[in-house]
A and B are shown apart, each in its own frame.
Chain A
Amino acid sequence: MSGPSRLSTRDLERLSAYLDGQLAPGEAAGMEARLQDDSALRETLEGLRQTKAALRSLPSLRPPRSFTLTPQMVGIRPRRPAYPALRLATAIATVAFMIVTGLDVLTQGLSRFALGAAAPAPAAEQVMLGAAPELEGTAVEESPPLERSVAGETPTTLPALQAFAEDAQAATPTSPVGYGGGMPSQETQAGTPDGIGGGGPLPTPAPGVGYPPLETPTATPTPTPTPTPTRTPTPTPTPQPVAAEPQVPADGGVSGLGPIQWVELLLGAAVVTFAVFSLWFRRES
């Protein structure tokens, strides 16, 4: 049957499906038979075929960018920033700990030199002893100046000592971080006039007896929170400990902590906490 030039919708659909090979075998055979007879049908089929070919010729375009999603886009709170933040907090707490400890040492030195056998010094020593009893000998070091001050040779030495102590204090800010490295020399400076004034046996450096240097904990991000070493190694005159020894345990225990020691304790604890968390987050991420 030769159809009219204008195709019915049904025929158009069949022709289109035939073009795509989507007619059932029986229907396809029927369509082929009709195409033999119907030139208009053939013409339409050809038009559709060419249209399809033209559309297929459209190039596949490269996307202008990648559409991969970022954690921000999907609202996932990124975990990684926790690590740098904690690392920074550890560093800040460490530096603060070092500065406070340094100030503590300086003020102790000051008070010891200026006020003689005032309470703070033994209290601090007590803390040191309580935290690290094996350093008992080192606590002893602190007494010689006291002893000497008590002996109070001449009042004229005091201003000189204060001046030295102030010098030392003024020197600290220049190297707060490198405190461990810088301080011993300052201590020695302060100690020298003391030795001269006291006329006693000039302290000879005894490295073996010295405190575990403060720098050890501060150099690593996980310093121990114990405020044990509040002083750097000072020259230890061996004969004097005996006299000084009784003073140390005489004072109170932890209750004897001054405000600055509390700050040291808290800062030390903060350093350890931050360091532990930062290590944990680093492993997590």
Chain B
Amino acid sequence: MDEAALILEAQRGDLDSFNRLVLAYQTQVYNLAYRIFGDANSAADAAQEAFLAAYRGLKAFRGGSFRSWLLRIVTNICYDELRRRKRRPAASLEAILESEVDLEDDGAGLRTSGPLRPEAAMEQAELSKAIQDCLNRLPDDFRVVVILADVQGYDYAEISAVAALPLGTVKSRLARARLRLRDCLQRFRELLPAAFRLEDEAAP
């Protein structure tokens, strides 16, 4: 059954059809939330909440990209949670402590094909941790855009739809987020593979 048919069935209340959509998109939804929060528990909660909200609001979906619609829901849920944490610093501190732990085993859930050498796996984990650390330092608005563009690989139009931003705003936030990340990553340049190394003058 294709996606449109599944959506139609789900809109009629068929939970099985909706769950097939969940299975198709849960990795993307979870990863977006994970990169926004930097911790697995918050990401899982947000993803679950997003799918529940999507099911309940499915009648409001009027065609277009279902993925964009889902990602927008989870993005809004993440924003709400981040705002809530800013109002309640205790929860925020707890999340930071959790994220420290989670980042340690960031490499554990790798989907890389084939086994990595132990050192390579460690380097990958260290690099992932460094990048996530830099992402966490970005303002929320910048972070979401750069995750959608560079971590998830979506094009500007989709980012514009997901983040509910004009195209121009997407471009400018992405550029500034990249520049900040470049500066942040300088501190970890020994971790970066040669291809990523910022001091390398491999310009064309």
Tell me the A residues contacting B by CB distance below 8 Å: 9, 12-13, 15-17, 20, 22, 39, 42-48, 50-69, 71, 73-74, 76
Contacts and interface: CB of A to CB of B under 8 A. Distances in A.
B202 A46 contact: yes
Given A61-B30, A63-B44, A56 B179 contact: no
Contacts of B30: 61, 63, 67
Contact of A74 (B55, B132, B201): B55
21 contacts: A9-B175, A50-B182, A50-B198, A50-B200, A52-B178, A53-B195, A54-B131, A55-B131, A55-B146, A56-B150, A57-B131, A57-B193, A59-B112, A61-B31, A61-B110, A62-B111, A65-B44, A67-B22, A67-B44, A69-B19, A74-B55
Nearest to A55: B150
Contact of A76 (B15, B48, B131, B176): B15
A52 B172 CA distance: 15
A67 B171 contact: no
B82 interface: no
B148 to A, nearest CB: 11
A47 B177 CA distance: 12
Given A16-B174, A54-B185, A61-B106, 6 more contacts: A20-B149, A42-B203, A50-B196, A51-B178, A55-B131, A60-B31
Contacts of A47: 179, 182, 198
Contacts of A50: 182, 192, 195-198, 200
A59 B111 contact: yes
B52 to A, nearest CB: 6
Nearest to B51: A67
A16 B171 contact: yes
A12 B128 contact: no
B76 interface: no
Interface of B: 13, 15, 18-19, 22-23, 26-27, 29-31, 34-35, 40, 44, 47-48, 51-52, 55-56, 106-107, 109-112, 124, 127-128, 131-132, 146-147, 149-151, 153, 155-156, 171-172, 174-176, 178-179, 181-182, 185, 192-193, 195-198, 200-204
A60 B203 contact: no
Given A42-B203, A54-B192, A17 B175 contact: yes
B128 A51 contact: no
B22 A15 contact: no
A60 B124 contact: no
Nearest to A60: B111
Contacts of A17: 171, 175
B27 A60 contact: yes
Contacts of A42: 203-204
A22 B47 CA distance: 30
A22 B27 contact: no
B175 A16 contact: yes
Contact of A54 (B44, B107, B196, B202): B196
A61 B195 contact: no
Given A22-B171, A46-B203, A64-B44, A59 B178 contact: no
A43 B198 CA distance: 9
Contacts of B196: 50, 53-54, 57
A65 B128 CA distance: 21
A59 B125 CA distance: 9
Contacts of A52: 150, 178
B157 to A, nearest CB: 10
Given A20-B156, A56-B151, A51 B182 contact: yes
Contacts of A16: 171, 174-175, 178
A12 B179 contact: yes
A13 B172 contact: yes
A61 B34 contact: yes
A20 B203 CA distance: 16
Contacts of A68: 19, 22-23, 26, 51
